[in-house]
Structure 1
Amino acid sequence: MRRFFYDISNNISDERGLLHPQLSTLPIGANVELTESITHHWCRVLRANIGDQGILFDGFGGEYQVQLQTISKKHATVTLLAHINTDRSTSMFTKIGLVMSRGERMDYAIQKSTELGVTAIQLLSSHHGEVNLKPAQVEKKLAHWQQVAIAACEQCGLNRPPLIIAPVSINDWLQGSATHSSDSQMDVSPPTVSPIVTTLSQDPYYQILQQPADLRMQLSVPAAGQPAIPKSLPELLKQQSPYIELLIGPEGGLSVDECQQAANVGFEPWQIGSRILRTETAPVVALATLQALSH
């Protein structure tokens, strides 16, 4: 069955001002007004008909089997048939600090990281990075990359989209990490995300992102005499729900100062094999390796 993310951002569906509640607030058998994007894709592009069934998920847990009831020129409604209480999230929480790259390489990194269960991606700019967004570009790019993640969820079956967090400089992010880790009792501002997931980001599932990570690792260029993985990683992966932060630099690598700053706030080097990975490949290999080591 076709799967669609049911966007409740701004709680408004269309020009008629119809509200989009969380699916979990509605009883089975209730009729739901589809968002404009779902209506267009399912009913116009895919040419669905009344009586066809599909899956909706809003990111708050589980998914709903639905059946099309009405279709008009711009609008459609479905009936909630059943709630499927399934969560395909991985057993660990992972946040990637990812220096932005250009075009399809960035889309690929986000798409595949989503399929591999990443919890959040913090967008970064760095000294050797290719991309430095102007303030006017941030909202549009953030919405695009969040949609890339959501589309990957629709395809792979993940019911909780990763949060794509607005870009900051790597220096500012690492300084914030230092402050956060030195005082775990301090108030931490919620992440700046696209309006698509602003409400969703407040769900308890994502609150672990406000806490210090159990382990921080920087994917590093292979170097002689450097340990392949942090000594604490194998034991950490035996825990029920470990929280791991990864730092991945740009094609040109992090500068010496950035590497030192990362080390100063607890990022340990992690070498995956003897080859140098591209910036869009590194998240995929890192997340897949963590999952393999945890089983």
Structure 2
Amino acid sequence: MRRFFYDTSNNTNTPFPKLSAFSIGASVELTESIVHHWCRVLRANIGDQGILFDGFGGEYQVELQAISKKHATVTLLAHTNDDRSAPILTKIGLVMSRGERMDYAIQKSTELGVTAIQLLSSHHGEVNLKPTQVEKKLAHWQQVAIAACEQCGLNRPPLILAPISINDWLKSTTSATPINTETTISPIIAMLNQDAYYQALQQPADLRLQLSVPAAGQPAMPKALLTVLQQPVPYIELLIGPEGGLSNEECAQAADVGFEPWQIGARVLRTETAPVVALATLHALCN
């Protein structure tokens, strides 16, 4: 069955209730984006069934009850409490790249269960967004993550955080700074920041790792990694630089706030490949 993210923000001043506010058998109005995708693009009919999830855990099997030109309602048939979130909380500080490479990095990181992605600009980075571009690009990248959730079965979308300079981000990692939902997160998922699952990101990470270029004499794996992965729900922050790498100053600043170098293999990975390899490796080591 098709899966759809139920956007409780509804892009209006009147947010929709969480799905958990309804009882099984209740009628629920679909959001505009689902109406467009399911009813118009996919030409769904009354009686067709699908899956809704709103990011607060679990998902609902629904059946289309009524369809009009601009609206549609469904009946909630059943609730499944499955949480397919990764057993590791991960936040990636990712220096932005251009075009499809950035979309790829976000899409595949989502499929591998990343919890949040902090977009970064850096000295050697290719992308520096103008203030007028941030809102549109942030909404686009959040939609890339949501579409990946709909495809892969994840029912808690990662938070895509508005870009800041790598220097500012590294300074903020030493303190628990609440996320400002008005400026940092797309309105699409702003309400999710109130959920306990995402609130855990406000705490200091158990381990900070900087993916680095292979270097002689550098350990392949930080000694603390395997120990941290044995914790019930480890929280790991990853720093991934641009194609040109981080500057010496940025590397030194990262080391000063506790980021340990981590080289995975003997090859130099592209910036869109590194998150995939890092997350897959963490999950393999955790199992």
The two structures have a TM-score, normalised by structure 2, of 0.97
Query: 1:8 corresponds to which letter in structure 2?
Result: T
Paired residue type of 2:205: A
CA distance in 2, matches of 1:147, 1:63: 19
Structure 2: 5+ residue stretches without partners: none
**Residues 11 and 20, structure 1, Cα contact 8 Å, conserved in 2:** no
Identity %: 79
* Alignment-derived partner of residue 35 in structure 1: 31
Matched, 1:163 2:159: yes
> Distance between the aligned counterparts of 2:69 and 2:173, measured in 1?
50
Change (3 A) 1:212 1:18: closer
Question: Once the 2 structures are TM-superposed, how far is the Cα of residue 177 of structure 1 from its aligned partner?
Answer: 1.5
Q: CA deviation at 1:188?
A: 3.4
| Selected match of 1:63 from 49, 59, 63 | 59
Segment drifting more, 119-128 vs 3-12? 3-12
AA partner of residue 95 (structure 1) = K
CA distance in 2, matches of 1:18, 1:117: 30
CA distance in 1, matches of 2:11, 2:95: 32
The answer on 1:73 being equivalent to 2:69 is: yes
Q: Show structure 1 runs of 5+ residues with no match.
A: none
Where does residue 178 of structure 2 map in the other structure?
188
Q: Which residue of 2 aligns with 1:239?
A: 231
Deviation beyond 3 Å, 4+ runs, structure 1: 187-191
Pick aligned residue for 1:85 from 71, 81, 84: 81
Q: Does 1:266 align with 2:258?
A: yes
Asked whether the equivalents of residues 49 and 62 of structure 2 are also in contact (C-alpha less than 8 Å), the reply is yes
Q: Is the 8 A contact 1:65 1:83 kept in 2?
A: yes
C-alpha contact (below 8 Å) 2:9/2:15 kept by paired residues: no
1:209 partner letter: L
Distance in 2 separating the partners of 1:22 and 1:189: 21
Say if 2:270 is the partner of 1:278.
Answer: yes
8 Å Cα contact 1:11/1:21 also seen in 2: no
Residues paired across the two proteins, number = 285
**RMSD, aligned CA:** 1.3
Whether 2:200 is the aligned partner of 1:214: answer: no
Measured after TM superposition, the shift of residue 175 of structure 1 is 1.1
The 5 A counterparts of 1:107-186 are 107-178=103-174, 180=175
Alignment partners' CA distance in 1, 2:257 and 2:180:
21
Tell me the distance in 2 between the aligned counterparts of 1:81 and 1:19: 23
User: Could you say which residue in structure 2 is the equivalent of 1:8?
Assistant: 8
Q: Is the 8 A contact 1:190 1:210 kept in 2?
A: no
Counterpart CA distance in 1 for 2:249 and 2:10 is 41
Verify: 1:250 aligned to 2:250, yes or no: no
Determine the C-alpha separation between the residues in 2 that align with 1:278 and 1:202: 34
Residue type at the aligned position of 2:54: D
Could you tell me how far 1:37 is from its partner in structure 2?
1.0
Q: 1:75: Cα distance to partner? A: 1.1
Partner of 2:285: 293
The Cα shift of 1:176 comes to 1.3
* SS, match of residue 9 in structure 1: coil
Q: Deviations over 1:176-208 (max 9, x none)?
A: 123x1xxx6xx6344620000111111111011
Letter in 1 for 2:178: V
Contact persistence 1:150–1:161 (CA under 8 A): yes
> What's the CA shift for 1:92?
0.7
The alpha-carbon distance between structure 1 residues 87 and 223, as it changes in their structure 2 partners (threshold 3 A), is: same
Match of 2:30, as an amino acid?
Answer: L
Contact 2:10 2:32 in 1 (8 A): no
1:197 aligns with 2:193: no
> CA–CA distance in 1 between the matches of 2:129 and 2:75?
42
Q: Please state whether the residue corresponding to 2:197 is helix, strand or coil.
A: helix
> C-alpha deviations, 1:155-174, integer Å up to 9, x for none?
00000000000100000111
Q: Residues 30-60 of structure 1, C-alpha deviation per residue, up to 9 Å, x if partnerless?
A: 1011111111111111111100000000000
Distance across 2 between alignment mates of 1:204 and 1:294? 23
